[in-house]
Amino acid sequence: MMMPGKYLTFINRFSKTGQTGLIIVGIVFFMAIFAPLISVHSHKLSSGPPLSSPNGEHILGTDELGVDLWAQICFGSRISLVIGMGTALLAGSCGGLIGVLAAYSGGMTDRILMRIIDIITVLPDLPVMIVLAAFFGPGLINIIIVLSLFSWVATARIVRSQVLQLKEQLYIKSAETYGAGTWYLMKRHFLPEIFPLVAVSMIRLTGKAIVAEAGLSFLGLGDPASGSWGLIIHHATSFTGIYYTNFWKWWLIAPWIALTLMVSSLAFISRDFERFADPRMDRRKNRYQKQ
């Protein structure tokens, strides 16, 4: 578990790819927070000739309306982070709560919750997201809710199995016999144990949500006003004649690289986190042996 004041050794425990990932995610956070400061031009208004290639004035070029792409990328990182972290927080906390509830109450509640989790797990998520997005309409909040509806199950499953294991531990049992109440047990024993698990799955969720939002935006189902990276790709690919010109070399490549770097960095970080924070890794090893 993470101890305060040991951040350096903590970072050293990451693999090379994980450290690179941390740096890239850090840069993206920096871009998102200081977007108005580091981009000279407006991310919404035209600031130069349309479709100009990268030059001193516009370091990443401009799109078909002459809007600076670097500014769009900077402000787009905000959308990606909001969607990613919003979904991760909502889905992670709901999933965590439901997992604890299912494991702790057991019986009928557990059975019903597990059934729901099973159903959502087998549903292919993208088609359902498309249908929901089509019916509920685009919008950042809607997208976060739709993404969360599908993402909480993984967290809930992991948390549930962890709490089930904990419940059988002797120290929990003895705390119970000493008269520890549900809330005391939660706060003192369960939450500290499941927090790392939830945190790890939240990183996974962040990456997944960013990808899903990019996919929906690419299809034209995202929030048309958001200016997310997926939306830039959508505009670029819907531009007539994009295939026959050189415009894609900056218009499409910039958001593409931003998305790819962000998503792979998150994946590498969560891979490392899983390695040292998830006790289930051992279990997974056992499972392969069983099979």
Partner 1 sequence: MIFFQGKKSRVIEYLFTIWVIFTLNFFLPRTMPGDPFLFISADEEGEEVAQFSEEQRNYYMAYYGLDRPLYSQYFSYFSDLSKGYLGYSLYYNQPVTIILLHRLPWTLCLVMTAVILSTVIGIVLGGFCAVYADRWEDRLLYFMLIAISEIPAFLVGLVLLFFFAAGMGLFPLSGAMTHFSGYDGFMEKTGDILHHAALPVIALTLTRISGIFLLTRSSIITVLTKTYIKTARAKGISGQRIFIKHIFRNAMLPIVTRVFLSLGSLVGGAILVENVFAYPGLGKLMRDAVMMHDYPLIQGIFLMVTISVLSANFIADLVYKKLDPRISDAAAADGH
If one asks whether residue 221 binds partner 1 (CB under 8 A), the answer comes out as: yes
Copy the structure tokens of residue 24.
Answer: 């890239």
Do you know the residue count of the chain?
A: 291
| Sole binder of partner 1 in the list 10, 30, 118, 225 (CB under 8 A) | 118
218 binds partner 1, rule: CB under 8 A? yes
**Which range binds partner 1 by CB under 8 A, 48-56, 79-87, 97-105, 266-274?**
266-274
**Quick one: which H or E segment has residue 243?**
none
Nearest to 127 by CA among 200, 204, 207, 212: 212
Sole binder of partner 1 in the list 119, 141, 225, 281 (CB under 8 A): 119
Residues 139-158, interacting with partner 1 (CB under 8 A): none
Contact at 8 Å (CB) between 35 and 74? yes
Q: Does 124 bind partner 1 (CB under 8 A)?
A: yes
**Does 248 interact with partner 1 (rule: CB under 8 A)?**
yes
Sole binder of partner 1 in the list 4, 56, 127, 179 (CB under 8 A): 127
Burial class (CB in 10 A: 0-12, 13-18, 19+), 6: exposed
Q: Does 211 bind partner 1 (CB under 8 A)?
A: yes
Per CB under 8 A, the segment of 58-66, 76-84, 168-176, 206-214 that binds partner 1 is 206-214
Closer residue to partner 1 in complex, CB, 75/251? 251
Tokens of 214: 């990019």
Q: Which of 2, 40, 123, 225 binds partner 1 (CB under 8 A)?
A: 123
Alpha-carbon gap, residue 258 to 140, rounded angstroms: 20
Q: Report in angstroms how near the CB of residue 87 gets to partner 1 at its nearest.
A: 16
Of 230, 205, 206, nearest to 217 by C-alpha is: 230
Residue 97 to residue 215: CA distance in whole angstroms: 28
If binding is defined by CB under 8 A, does position 130 make contact with partner 1? yes
For CA atoms 40, 43, 49, 50, the dihedral sign is positive
Which span (84-92, 96-104, 176-184, 263-271) binds partner 1, by CB under 8 A?
263-271
Residue 97's closest CA among 113, 86, 111, 85?
Answer: 113
The token pair at 75 is 């402000």
Binders in 15-34 for partner 1, by CB under 8 A: 17
Minimum distance from residue 184 beta carbon to partner 1 (Å): 28
Query: Distances in Å between the alpha carbon of 70 and those of 28, 33, 54, 79?
Result: 13, 15, 10, 15
Binding residue (CB under 8 A) for partner 1 from 32, 89, 128, 277: 128
Stretch that binds partner 1, among 24-32, 175-183, 190-198, 267-275 (CB under 8 A): 267-275
Backbone φ and ψ for 62, nearest 5 degrees, come out as: -130, 165
Is residue 66 left, alpha or beta, with left meaning phi > 0 and alpha meaning psi from -120 to 50?
A: left
Indicate whether 252 belongs to the interface with partner 1 (CB under 8 A): yes
Contact residues toward partner 1 (CB under 8 A) are 17, 111, 114-115, 118-119, 122-128, 130-135, 207, 211, 214-215, 218-221, 233, 237, 242-244, 248, 252, 256, 259-260, 263-264, 267-268, 271, 285, 287-291
